Amino acid sequence: MWFGRLKKRIERTLFVSWREQPTRFDIEALQANIRRVGLVVRVRWILIGVLVVYSLLAASAYMTRMDVSQLVRLMTIPAISLGFVVLYNTFYAVNYRRLGNIAVWNNLQLALDAVVVTVLVYFSGGVNSWFWSMYALFILEAAFILPHPRSAWLHAAFSVGLLGAIEWSEYLGWLTHVSIPFADKSVHEDFVFVSVRYLWQVAVLAGTAGVATRLVGEFRRELGSRRSVALLDELTGLYSRSYFSRALASEIKRAGRDHRELHVLLIDVDRFGEFNRRFGFDSGDRMLVAVAQAIAATITPTGDEVATTNLACRFGGEEFAVLYAEDERLEGAPLASDAKGLAEQVCAAVAAVVLDDASVTVSVGLASFPLDGRTPDELVDAADVALGCATAEGGNRAVAAADCVPTTEVS
């Protein structure tokens, strides 16, 4: 049993989605990771271009002080390292959409970058090298691309460790020092110089991580706040209609692929205008919040909205909508009969709500995929027709689209 739990934990660490049938939340996390991997790939090409231009200009400058054979020996290993970066970035560029569910790809890319920078540092003079500043670029990149601030700090610590390993190994004589033009050939043996230089490098890289994670964190909080405004209804806290539409389209594709049913419930508070006139709009708003809470509690009996694909939204005014895709209490995907039972539970749950000695009832229209429609618009239209039937029958009831025969008035 412990082995199974360990295997599950490792899978959750390595993969964005580990379930055989990923939920909407898994799919959104997967898409976000694919976007981040793609961003790493694009940024990498920019840095490669900068390095190529720099190398050409530096080679031109060095040729004024050394012969070509010496220059070739000096730049061979850095050129091979740059070629390695081109190869693995090409691999990522070709495969990142297919491999985007592997959560560690971004960390692996950035770790390889740090290793390449370490090679450049060593073969460009060690403690004399100015290539160490490239670590800061990748720490900034980690802060922007990776989802958690601690990841940027881990990359900063990894970079500081690699840099220290090179500079102190040269000082201790464990590594042969590579001399470069225009640099003092003995400073790598000076304890004070190496100490002061390394402390400054640590300070710069740690400062880069601190500033980057703070700025990016604030940016993400602001962006999250703006997204939540579009994602959630301000009054009830339920999802917005626009988000419901996107989720419904995604779940219809998944249900069609898996050959299972999917259900939409449209819910309308009966005679809500009369309630507002009698008790006031403030009481009406509080009642809408209470109704929303009753609906949400009914469709997520476990209380964990992230663990289910079911969701409720405020459709507009006193109207709500529910996407019913799964139920942990059932062995398989819910059928139309299960959705009808859920709709009746919603009616009962709302009728049980009492606020300031007042209560309301709701009418529910139910439509099922693929029986009543195969597109979001068809399902919502079918549920709306069924809702009209429920209202016409006096309210406080649930009607399925398959059982509804709308009447046509003849003038």
Q: Which residue has the higher pLDDT, 58 or 372?
A: 372
Dihedral sign for Cα 90, 96, 99, 105, please: positive
Q: Is the pLDDT of residue 411 over 60?
A: no
Q: Apex CA 106: angle with CA 100 and CA 109, to 5°?
A: 120
Of the pLDDT bands very low, low, confident and very high (cuts 50, 70, 90), residue 39 is confident
pLDDT in tens, 74-99: 788 888 888 888 888 888 788 777 76
Highest-confidence segment of 231-245, 300-314, 335-349: 335-349
Torsion of CA 226, 227, 229, 233, to 10 degrees: -170
- Angle, helices 134-145 vs 149-172, to 10°: value is 160
For the segment 177-194, the average pLDDT, to the nearest whole number, is 84
Q: Is the pLDDT of residue 367 over 80?
A: yes
Of the pLDDT bands very low, low, confident and very high (cuts 50, 70, 90), residue 240 is confident
Q: Is the pLDDT of residue 259 over 70?
A: yes
Contacts within 8 Å (CB) and 24+ apart, 16-25: 16/100, 16/101, 16/102, 16/103, 17/101, 21/254, 21/258, 23/308, 23/309, 24/247, 24/250, 24/251, 24/254, 24/309, 25/306, 25/309
Of the pLDDT bands very low, low, confident and very high (cuts 50, 70, 90), residue 196 is very high
Specify whether the CB–CB gap between 121 and 163 falls below 8 A.
Answer: yes
For the segment 346-372, the average pLDDT, to the nearest whole number, is 92
pLDDT in tens, 306-318: 446 788 999 888 9
Q: Is the pLDDT of residue 366 over 70?
A: yes
Q: Is the pLDDT of residue 228 over 80?
A: no
Least confident of 136-145, 180-189, 297-306, 358-367: 297-306
Residue pointed to by tokens 């694009």? 42
Q: What is the pLDDT of residue 145?
A: 79
Instruction: DSSP for 281-315, please give it.
Output: HHHHHHHHHHHHHHHHHHH-TTS-GGG-S-EEEEE
For the segment 359-376, the average pLDDT, to the nearest whole number, is 92
Q: What is the pLDDT of residue 88?
A: 81
Helix (H, G, I), strand (E, B) or coil at 59: helix
Q: Is the pLDDT of residue 408 over 70?
A: no
Q: What is the pLDDT of residue 16?
A: 57
Which of 234, 291, 301, 302 lies closest to 267, judged by CA? Answer: 291
d(CA 61, CA 213): 37
Q: Which residues pair with 319 in a beta bridge?
A: 268, 316
Q: What is the pLDDT of residue 351?
A: 93
Spell out the domain ranges in the chain.
12-231, 241-403
Q: Which residue has the higher pLDDT, 169 or 20?
A: 169
Specify whether the CB–CB gap between 388 and 381 falls below 8 A.
Answer: no
Q: Is the pLDDT of residue 209 over 90?
A: yes
Q: What is the pLDDT of residue 230?
A: 65
Q: Is the pLDDT of residue 20 over 50?
A: no
Count of beta carbons in the 10 Å neighbourhood of residue 348:
15
For the segment 277-296, the average pLDDT, to the nearest whole number, is 91
Dihedral sign for Cα 28, 31, 35, 37, please: positive
d(CA 74, CA 77): 7
For the segment 294-313, the average pLDDT, to the nearest whole number, is 73
d(CA 168, CA 275): 78
CATH 3.30.70.270 fits 241-403, yes or no: yes
Q: What percent of the chain has pLDDT over 90?
A: 34
Q: Which residue has the higher pLDDT, 246 or 328?
A: 246
Cβ partners under 8 Å of residue 44, min gap 6: 85, 89, 92, 109, 113
Of the pLDDT bands very low, low, confident and very high (cuts 50, 70, 90), residue 386 is very high
Q: What is the pLDDT of residue 409?
A: 45
For the segment 49-65, the average pLDDT, to the nearest whole number, is 83
Which pair of tokens denotes residue 321?
């909508």
Which pair of tokens denotes residue 367?
């439509």
Q: Mean pLDDT score of the chain, rounded to an integer?
A: 83
Q: Which residues pair with 263 in a beta bridge?
A: 324, 368
Highest-confidence segment of 32-36, 91-95, 296-300, 307-311: 296-300
Cβ partners under 8 Å of residue 38, min gap 6: 96, 97
Q: Is the pLDDT of residue 373 over 80?
A: yes
Q: Is the pLDDT of residue 4 over 70?
A: no
H or E segment at 322?
Answer: strand 319-324
Q: Is the pLDDT of residue 286 over 80?
A: yes
